[in-house]
A and B are shown apart, each in its own frame.
Chain A
Amino acid sequence: SAVISQKPSRDICQRGTSLTIQCQVDSQVTMMFWYRQQPGQSLTLIATANQGSEATYESGFVIDKFPISRPNLTFSTLTVSNMSPEDSSIYLCSYSAGSDTQYFGPGTRLTVL
């Protein structure tokens, strides 16, 4: 499987600010995804990042709050906008290379004060 990295690995932010998380895969992949894992909860899909077009968002997530970019087949960003303490979570990116299996990045632990 390809190597997938994320940065930052963690951050502490003030409410009302925005944070952009970067996800890099070391080879071209078809699908990239962004998940949120709130404290004590399981993973929830935010959106599928589509190369060259707008991301596909899941119910309950909107582009204004979580804008996503996918400029090429190896890179994606997720921005968490106008943050509040409720946005404190682990944010994970993943990729799928054609099969159903998704491989996850190391995650970004976000704390909003």
Chain B
Amino acid sequence: EDKVVQSPLSLVVHEGDTVTLNCSYEVTNFRSLLWYKQEKKAPTFLFMLTSSGIEKKSGRLSSILDKKELFSILNITATQTGDSAVYLCAVEGAQKLVFGQGTRLTINP
């Protein structure tokens, strides 16, 4: 059965800190790994990763995939209170997305 595991489940840091969120997976027919940010109800798309070792970057957020070790990390530098959210990792396999449990990130001022 396809499985996505995120860690930590919860993280509280101070504004300005750098955080690293982890996602490991076991999926047959891996196609891609996606990161989403969920603040209220709707997850908003951050990144899609398909190739190992190629960093994707958007502002203070970046992500990289390791297809050999079956994991991905999401980095957020110089965190702001607006980064507080649940970050979801999902893996596409067999034409459907399998989601991890999410990491609840809280940024304190």
Mask, A79-110, CB within 8 Å of B = 1, is 00000000000101000000111111111010
Check if B42 sits within 8 Å of A100, measured CB to CB: no
Distance in angstroms from A55 CB to nearest chain B CB is 13
Distance in angstroms from B30 CB to nearest chain A CB is 10
Check if A45 sits within 8 Å of B96, measured CB to CB: yes
Check if B48 sits within 8 Å of A101, measured CB to CB: yes
Beta-carbon nearest neighbor of A105 in chain B: B42
Check if B42 sits within 8 Å of A43, measured CB to CB: no
Binds A, one of B13-21, B59-67, B99-107: B99-107
Interface: A53 (CB within 8 A) = no
Interface residues of A (CB under 8 A from B): 1, 33, 41-45, 48, 58, 90, 92, 99-107, 109
Interface residues of B (CB under 8 A from A): 31-32, 34, 36, 40-45, 48, 88, 90, 92, 95-97, 99-102
